[in-house]
Amino acid sequence: MNRKICVVGLGYVGLPLAIHFDRAGHSVTGYDVDQEKVDRFQDGADPTKEIGDESVKSSEIEFTANETAIERAKYVIVTVPTPVDDLKNPNLKYVESAGETIGRNIQEGATVVLESTVYPGATREILAPAIEQASGLTAGEDFYIGYSPERMVPGDDQHGLRDIVKIVSGQYDEVLADLASLYETIVDAGVHRAPEIEVAEAAKCIENIQRDLNIALVNELAIACNNLGLDTHAVLEAAGTKWNFHDYRPGLVGGHCIPVDPFFMIYESERNGYSPQLMEQAREVNEYMPKHVAEMTLKGLNDCRKVLRESTVLVLGLAYKPGVGDIRTSPIEDTIEKLESYSVDVVGHDPYADTQVVENRFGIEMQDTLSFDGIDAVLLATPHEEYLHFEFTNLIYDMAEDPLVIDVMGELNGRLADQNYVEYKRV
């Protein structure tokens, strides 16, 4: 059954969603306020690098920056950013703005689905009223609302849109059933029907809160082990021999989900009288880790008898996770700032991130061609697959005397630990 769909917001979430609906045979319009981005889509290019130029070029999607295109859609799906502000409170101005735009153009009987991460209750409290005010229509009578959180994993081919169970909710049973049938046309893994919109909103938050808590536990363990002179990974390997031990490793926590989603639940919980201390403390631990990595590096340089203001640290990987080039929420920024506060010279290399964007954002020089020549310390921050194939034992001979390697996530598996010509540390 062909359905008329408009996806509002064509970023890392909206574009793949539009592409998959198009492939399923629906009539799809992709709307975005950024005319320059729309122009690139119309030229067959994918500025997000998430789906690929060929997929955009071969699609039949109508890409537009003209909001009146929304009025033709029976289903309007909202995929706009939902950041937090400087006080870590949800900033839902993009959701509200999208609601106003939709309200000016919505047809009666249409269903509006929010996919962005929000606190429980926000779809009814923020999106629906914005549509009502701009349209003069009433939610639940003249148009309908639903919520279906995005769950894709950027840079992970095994966990794309079709491969992950889709949570779907609607304000009435009939709306839920209709939306479930819509999403079933693009998701092979199946659809989970949440009984309430607020349940689906909370489920999205808790997915990443759980990961944040588990990572915070091993990060705190790593800090404690470092202070005790113990190898954290050796401790985890020993503990992992028990059948019910959960396998998490220490590291830097970045991205658009894990560092942000806990604050949505914290915010709404506190508004309702309860302060979730464990969630807050987990965030504090993980937000401290970039500074801990910098302190490990500084101590390592001292142990190698380096003069800090004369030392150069090469950071391998500036993106927030392996296999992607997105640096917008990369935690390595705080590590760099800490190192530079001690007058350490920092240079970088990343096979995925745009060199000019990195230099503008972090204020460091980027290597076009990787070179270890004269480098005092290598900080393997984001273990892109390309780095893991290096023969470090050969490359390190190009480094300055008494070289240091900081392996943040332990991805080198300690294979430099027994080399007496290099100081090797992992978090």
pLDDT, tens only, 202-247: 999 999 999 999 999 999 999 999 999 999 999 999 999 999 999 9
pLDDT tens string 271-299: 999 999 999 999 999 999 999 999 999 99
pLDDT at position 50 is 78
pTM surpassing 0.75?
Answer: yes
Of these residues, 6, 225, 257, 304, which one is catalytic? 257
Asked if 323 and 155 touch (Cβ cutoff 8 Å), the reply is yes
Asked if 315 and 326 touch (Cβ cutoff 8 Å), the reply is no
CA torsion, ordered 136, 139, 140, 143, to nearest 10 deg:
70
Characterize the bridge pairing of strands 345-349 and 365-366: parallel
pLDDT at position 394 is 73
pLDDT tens string 116-151: 999 999 999 999 999 999 999 999 999 999 999 998
Beta strands in 287-413 (DSSP E): 312-316, 345-349, 365-366, 377-380, 404-407
Rounded Cα distance, 112 and 95, in Å: 12
Res 401 pLDDT > 80 = yes
What is the Cα gyration radius of the chain?
Answer: 24
CA torsion, ordered 313, 318, 320, 323, to nearest 10 deg:
-120
Strand-pairing partners, residue 86, are none
User: Average pLDDT, whole number, for the chain?
Assistant: 94
pLDDT at position 414 is 64
Does the annotation count 6 as an active-site position? no
Binned at pLDDT 50, 70 and 90, residue 392 comes out as confident
Res 8 pLDDT > 80 = yes
